Structure 1
Amino acid sequence: MLHALRFAAVLALLLLAACSRAPDETRIRDAIAAMETAVETRNPRDFMSHVTEDFAGRDSGFDRSALHNLLRAQFLRNESVSVLIGPIDVVVQGDRATATMTVTLSGGSGGLLPERGAIYAVETGWKKVGGDWLCLSANWQPR
C-alpha cells in the first residue's frame, strides 16, 4: 500500500512537471531556433509563423510582407542557405521581450564553400500573442 501511494505521488509530480509551460525566455529561444531551421530548410511559411501580422523591420517601410519577400528572394538566389546564431540575450518584461544576437548568414550554389556571407548584429522585439511568443520587430546592422 505504501509503495502504491509513493508511486501515485511520483506520477502526480511527473504529470505536473510535464504540464507546466517552459519559461518565456526558453520559448523565445525555441522560436528563434525554429526560425533558423525554417531558413536552412528553405521554408518561409514556417519562418513567418513566428512573425506578427504587424511586424516592423529596420525601417518604417519594411513590414511583414517585405520580410516574406526578402526570404523568398534569398531562397531563389541561393541554392543553400546557412544560419549561425551567436549568443542570444533575452530580456522579458511582461508580455513583451527583446532578444539580441549575432547572426551569420551564408549562401551559394550548395558547394563546399559558400559564395556569399554576412554577419549582422540583430535586435528583435517579441510579444506574447495567445500564449505564443511572436517576433514583432527586427533591426539588423552589418558587423
Structure 2
Amino acid sequence: MTTRTRTAIAVSRPRGAALWLCALALAALLGGCSRQAPEQRLRDSLGQLQQAMESRDLEGLQAALAEDFVGPEGLDRKGARALAMISFRRYHDVGVNLGPAEIDIQGDRATVSFSAALTGGAGVLPDAAQLYEVRTGWRDSDGQWRMTSAEWTPRL
C-alpha cells in the first residue's frame, strides 16, 4: 500500500508540474495577445481625447497632451486648457465628430490627420458649428500616446 501511494505521488508530481507549466505558458501567450498594437492604442487615445472634449473634462483633455505640447501660434498645454475652458463656459453642449484618421507611426512618434466637426450650443440645435482639417503629432511614452502638437485649418 505504501508503494502505491509513493508511486501515485511520484507520477502526480510530474503531471502537476506539467499542468502548471502549461498553465503558465498559456497565461504568457494570452498576456502577450492582450497587448494592444501601437496603432490601436493611439486610436484609443484619440477617442479618449474626443470623449474628454464632449464631456467637458478639462483634466482628461490635459492628460492627453504632452508636457511639451505646441499648437498654433505658440499655444502650449496651459493655453490649450484655457481655450477649452472658454469653449466649455460658452457652450453647454460640445460635440466632436471625427472623420477617418490617417495614421503614420514611426517608432515612438506618430502623425494623425483627420477632419473634425465641432459644434457648440445649449439646446437641441447647435449655436455654432465648424469643420476643420486637423494634423496632430503624438509620442508614445511608457505605453501611453500623448499629443505633442496640433494644427487645424477651418474648412467651412
5 Å matches for 1:80-119? 80-109=93-122, 111-119=123-131
CA RMSD of aligned residues (A): 2.1
**Which range moves more in the overlay, 8-17 or 20-29?**
8-17
Structure 2 gaps, min length 5? 1-17
- Separation in 2, partners of 1:9, 1:72: 53
Alignment equivalent of 1:126, drawn from 120, 123, 138? 138
Percentage of identical aligned residues: 38
CA offset digits 1:52-91 (Å, max 9, x no partner): 00000022x2111110001100000001001100001111
Alignment equivalent of 1:39, drawn from 53, 67, 72? 53
The aligned amino acid for 2:92 is E
- Separation in 1, partners of 2:117, 2:71: 18
The aligned amino acid for 2:53 is V
- Separation in 2, partners of 1:10, 1:99: 40
Q: 1:117 to 1:14 in 2, by over 3 A?
A: farther
Which 4+ residue blocks in structure 1 deviate beyond 6 angstroms? none
Question: TM-score of the superposition, structure 2-length normalised?
Answer: 0.80
Structure 1 match to 2:150: 138
- Separation in 2, partners of 1:62, 1:125: 14
Question: 3-state DSSP class of the match of 2:43?
Answer: helix
CA offset digits 1:21-74 (Å, max 9, x no partner): 211111111001001111111101111111100000022x21111100011000
Number of corresponding residues: 139
Greater helix share, 1 or 2? Answer: 2
Higher Cα Rg: structure 1 or 2? Answer: 2
Question: 3-state DSSP class of the match of 1:73?
Answer: helix
The aligned amino acid for 2:52 is A
Question: 3-state DSSP class of the match of 2:72?
Answer: coil
Structure 1 match to 2:11: none
What displacement does 1:18 show?
Answer: 4.0
The aligned amino acid for 1:73 is I
What displacement does 1:100 show?
Answer: 0.5
Question: 3-state DSSP class of the match of 2:100?
Answer: coil
